[in-house]
Amino acid sequence: MTHFLLLLTLSLLPVVHAIVPVPAQDQSEPIAITGAVIHVGDGSVISDGIITFEAGLITAIGTAGDGIDLTNHLLIDVQGRHVYPGFILPNSTLGLIEVSSVRATNDVFEEGDINASVRSAIAYNTDSEIIPANRFNGILTVQATPQGGLISGSSSVFKLDGWNWEDAMLVEDVGLHLHWPSYTQRRRNPEIGLFETADNENYEGQTQLLHSLFQDAQAYTGQPLNLNLLAMRPLFNGVAKLFIHADEAKEIISSIRFARRYGVQNIVLVGGADALTVKDFLLAQDVPVIYERIHELPLRDWQDVDTPFKTPFMLHDAGIKVGIGGGATSVDRQRNLPFFAGTAAAYGLDRETALSMVTSINAEILGVADRVGTLEVGKDATLFISEGDALDMRTSQVLGAYIQGRDIDLFGTQQELYERFRDKYANQLER
C-alpha cells in the first residue's frame, strides 16, 4: 500500500508544475517607476516619466522635472522602457472555458435560446491556465462573456488576478448579451461538399420570441418570480448595458431599432463587420462598437482583403467610438488583443489612438473608466512594463505587471515549457 501511494504521489508531480501562479499579495509599500516612456492611454505620452502608486492606487504621474516626492518609495528605474495601462479584453470567454473539446471545462454555453438569468460571474475560473498567457501580453482586465442562444446572459469585468471570482471581480453584471438572429445561414451542401448561403427559416420565429420576451420584461412587476425577466429589468432604467452581437448591416439596424423600441438606453454593438456601411445610423443612435474581425477575412468575397485591418481607422475617422475586442477568435487566440491594435495602427490609425482602443475606450464602453484604462491619479495601479512597443509582437516583451499595485507573477505554463526546451537544446549544442 505504501509503495502504491508513493507511485501515486510521483505521478502527480508534473501536475503540480502546471498550477497557475499564486495570486499576488497586496501592495505593502509605495512604489515609484522612474525613467519610463509612459503611455497614458488617452493618446498622450510622457517621456522620462515617473509614476507612483500606493495601496493599489496611482498617486502621481509626470516627468522627472515635475518634482514628484519619492520619499520612502521603492524605486524602480526602467531605463527608457515603456509603461502602459493594462490592456482590457472585452467579450472574452477567458475563465469560462479551458479545453473546448472537454465539456466539463466549458461554462460558456447554456441550453436554450433565452438565458437572461445566466451570470458569467459565478462561473469565472481564476485557476485557468490560459490566464497567465494573457497577462504575459499585457492583458490585465477581461470581460468574461457567456455565449449561445438569443439571450446569453450577463457578463462581468474581472482583474486577471485573484483567488476566486469574488476576489477577482472588478464590476459585476455590466450588461446582457443579445445575439440577433441572422437573416441567412451557411449550410453545407452534401451533394457538392461546399457551404452555401440560404435563408434562415427560423428568423421570424426567433424575432417573435424576442419581442414576446421584451414585452413581458417591460411589464414584469416582480411577481410571480421569473429569473429571466428579473435579470432584464436593469436594461430599461439604464443601469445595465445591452451588448448586441451582430455583423451584417441589416442585422445591425434591425437589432438596434428593436432595442430602442423597448426603451433600452445603453447599447453596445459587438462584432460590427458591416458597421462602416451603417456608420451614419450608428452615429445617430450614439452606439459604440467593439470591433472584432481585424485578423479575419472580409465578410464578402468582393471586399478588399485588408478591409478588416483598416475598418477601425475608418470607423474612428467617421466619429464612432470604437474599441477592439477578441471575441471573434477562440480563447487561445484572444491573448493577441494588443497585436490586433497593432494591425489597426499599421492601417491608418495613430499608434496612441490604436492603444486607446484596447485601454481607455474599452474601459469607457464597459463602464469601468473610473478604475482602469488610463494612467491617472486616483485610478487603480493596473499597468505593465514592456521592453519595446507592446502593440508589436516583434518587440513586445512584458517585464513586469501590477494589478491594483500588486506585483504579478508572469511565469506561467508556457514560460515553463519555453525554458524547459530552451535548456534541452542548449545542452545539446554544448555537447
Write the pLDDT tens digit of every residue in 316-346: 999 999 999 987 778 888 999 999 999 999 9
pLDDT of 197 strictly over 80: no
Do 257 and 401 belong to one domain? no
| Domain membership flag for residue 275 | yes
158 and 190 housed in the same domain: yes
Cell of 80: 527608457
Same-domain check for residues 337 and 402: no
Do 51 and 156 have their domain in common?
no
Q: Is 13 within a domain?
A: no
Domain shared by 27 and 165, yes or no? no
**Average pLDDT of the segment spanning 46-58:** 97
Residues 60 and 99 both lie in one domain = no
Quick one: pLDDT at residue 23? Answer: 93
What range defines the domain where residue 104 resides? 87-372
Please name the residues in contact with 169: beta carbons below 8 A apart, sequence gap of 6 or more: 121, 156, 157, 158, 159, 162
262 and 144 in a common domain: yes
Indicate whether 270 and 187 sit together in one domain: yes
- Whether residues 104 and 61 share a domain: the answer is no
Lowest mean pLDDT among 61-65, 95-99, 198-202, 265-269: 198-202
CA 340, CA 366: separation in Å to the nearest integer? 19
Could you tell me if residue 238 is inside a domain? yes
Q: Is the pLDDT at 386 greater than 60, yes or no?
A: yes
- Regarding whether 301 and 201 lie in a shared domain, the answer is yes
The domain that holds 337 is classified in CATH as: 3.20.20.140
- On whether both 219 and 143 belong to a single domain, the answer is yes
> Do 94 and 231 reside in the same domain of the chain?
yes
Query: Which sign, positive or negative, has the C-alpha torsion 122, 182, 318, 315?
Result: positive
Find residue 158's DSSP bridge partners. Answer: 142, 169
Q: Give the pLDDT confidence score for residue 99 in this predicted structure.
A: 86
